[in-house]
Amino acid sequence: MNALNDIILPAFYSFIASIAFGIQFNIRFRHIIAAAVGGVISQVIFSAAELGGSSEALCYFLAACAISVYSEFLAKRLHVPVNMYLVVAIIPLVPGKMIYQAMITLVNGDTQGFAEQCTATFAAAGAIAMGVFAVSSIVRVFRVVINKKGI
Amino acid sequence: MTSKELLSVTSQVGMMLLENGAEIYRVEDSVVRIAEAYGYKQGERFEVFAIPPAIIITVEDENGTPLTTHRNTRTRVNNLDRVDRLNNLSRYICVEKPDFKTINNFISQIKKRKTYPFYAIVLSFAVVGATFALFFGGGWKESVAAGVIAAIISLIEQAVTKVRPSVFFNSLICSLFTAAAAVMCFYFGFTAEYDSVIIGAAMTLVPGITITNCMRDFIAGDFLAGVYTLIEALLTATGMAVGAAFAISTLTKLLGL
């Protein structure tokens, strides 16, 4: 276990990949950098939680919460749609490896392993969704309260 | 602004937001805000209903006669810059309340805004493939292979999109090619394994905007739109899995790996 392989390199890769994804979604360059920083944050939180011994679902949940807070905050400050940051930042979190492994176990005819992998994948996807849900719902409530007070 | 002009403006803005990847809440909210800026309150003289493939807007004119427009989205692209610009436009309309001609000017300006050139898109696909191959545990050889495959995927996607396939078919074709090319790379000894190549290159196919919009639709309470986008995302994922599974199982059997 060392910090370089477990935290810094994945964060660096997700930074580069997030920039590239920003170009695919046609986001302007200065927003791309901000969004890519979101991708880095999600990855660092994920790796840190993993090193700290959290369960996989909790890692995904925490990382999703972190990028959600980051995107909502930045979007509010810069007056841009939240999606612009959230879409890019969430992509490094997509559990690509788990989906792939589920598929491979099915190809090899191991139905029990497939069921296990599928459960793990859906747990991860659900945890990401729950993280975004939790933060965005709270933000929505705050927005309604603030609008009513007319601040 | 007359009610006919308002109808034209709101349907154009709503339609463009839908087509460029905004979530339903943003579409409805922008349109309602624009209408309210000109004194058409939602629920009294103005109503909007949007789902991902269509938007319906009704305005009551001065005599109480309802006018309705219904538009279907023809193409769906990922252009978040346009969403951002339209968002700014609706903000501007709410504050300044400009006349019809000015707004139309702004809308055509937004339509003309440049997108990233073709080579930048291809390059970005390659970079995504290469970095995610490293991310998922590949070496530099796997990374190069995934980058090249991802660049070719972007070309395939461009070609396939022209015949307007279903999302399932689109991702099936792309992922079939990805897996086949990755296994071939492995077979000819260029890469040490094909797992990270496939995952890395297939990450370019992940429907990021669809997934995010799905979550945000559910949060905002637009369940109809949420279910629509959820099914879209699931179909894309299924297409990816089926394509890759088919390619891997047939090729490894044929080549005796």
* B125 plus B170 within the same structural domain: yes
Domain span holding position B239: 118-255
* B74 plus B138 within the same structural domain: no
* B242 plus B126 within the same structural domain: yes
Residue B57 phi, psi dihedral angles, 5° rounding: -125, 135
pLDDT digits (tens, 9 = 90+) for B29-76: 999 999 988 888 888 888 999 999 999 999 988 888 899 999 998 888
Question: Residue B48's beta-bridge partner residues?
Answer: B57
| Interface mutation vs chain A, best among B29, B32, B84, B114, most A CBs within 10 Å | B84
* B158 plus B251 within the same structural domain: yes
Distance in Å, alpha carbon of A83 to nearest chain B alpha carbon: 7
Looking at chain B, which residue has its C-alpha nearest residue A81?
Answer: B84
Of A51-55, A61-65, A130-134, A146-150, minimum mean pLDDT range: A146-150
Structural domains of chain B, count? 2
pLDDT digits (tens, 9 = 90+) for A54-89: 888 899 999 999 999 999 988 888 888 888 899 988
Amino acid identity, position A57: A
**Coil, helix or strand at residue A81:** coil
The residues in B 182-211 lying below 8 A from A, measured between CB atoms, are 195, 198-199, 202-204, 206, 208-209, 211
* B224 plus B125 within the same structural domain: yes
Last residue of a domain, one of B72, B94, B112: B112
- pLDDT at residue A151 in the model: 45
* B165 plus B70 within the same structural domain: no
Last residue of a domain, one of B112, B128, B156: B112
Taking the Cβ of residue B94 and every Cβ of chain A, the question of whether any pair is shorter than 8 Å is answered with no
pLDDT digits (tens, 9 = 90+) for A17-42: 999 999 999 898 888 998 899 889 98
* B153 plus B184 within the same structural domain: yes
* B108 plus B223 within the same structural domain: no
Nearest CB neighbour to B208, from listed A31, A90, A136: A90
Per-residue pLDDT averaged across B181-208, rounded? 90
- As to burial, measured by CB atoms within 10 angstroms (0-12 exposed, 13-18 middle, 19+ buried), residue B43 is exposed
* B97 plus B128 within the same structural domain: no
Orientation angle between helical segments B24-37 and B80-96, nearest 10 degrees: 20
* B100 plus B153 within the same structural domain: no
Give the rounded distance of the alpha carbon of A27 from its chain centre: 18
* B101 plus B133 within the same structural domain: no
> Are A20 and B127 a contacting pair at CB < 8 A?
yes
* B145 plus B228 within the same structural domain: yes
pLDDT reading at A150 higher than 60: no
